[in-house]
Amino acid sequence: MKISARNPLNGTVVEIVKGATTAHVKLDLGGAIVISAISNAAVDELKLAVGRQAYAVVKTSDVMIAID
């Protein structure tokens, strides 16, 4: 894989919930869980399935930190 982003996070798909047009894909990154909303078509094109290795790639200009 070649990508310009410097933060791909390797994980395992643990759940896929498809809606009318959008799917929520849950990745386990070794104890931390990330959920991504992508199109159902993307799930099919990538052949995503529970147990498959995948990357979460975060593209953002801001990351906020908060405490109570």
Per-residue pLDDT of the chain (68 residues; tens, 9 = 90+): 777 777 788 999 999 999 999 999 999 999 999 999 999 999 999 999 999 999 998 877 777 778 88
Q: What is the pLDDT, as a whole number, of residue 48? A: 97
pLDDT score of 64: 74
Number of domains composing the chain: 1
Look at residue 64 and tell me if it is in a domain. no
Q: Report if residue 68 sits inside a domain.
A: no
Is 2 domain-assigned? no
pLDDT at 39: 96
Q: Please state, as a whole number, how many other Cβ atoms lie within 10 Å of the Cβ of residue 25.
A: 22
Q: Which CATH number fits the domain that encloses residue 48?
A: 2.40.50.100
In a domain, 63, yes or no: no
Q: What is the C-alpha to C-alpha distance for residues 54 and 9, in angstroms, rounded to an integer?
A: 8
Residue 29 within a domain: yes
Q: Are 38 and 23 in contact (CB under 8 A)?
A: yes
Structure tokens at 48: 């995503």
Note down the domain range covering 49.
8-55
Residue 16 resides in a domain: yes
Distances from the Cα of 34 to the Cα of 51, 53, 68, angstroms? 15, 13, 22
Within-domain flag for 1: no
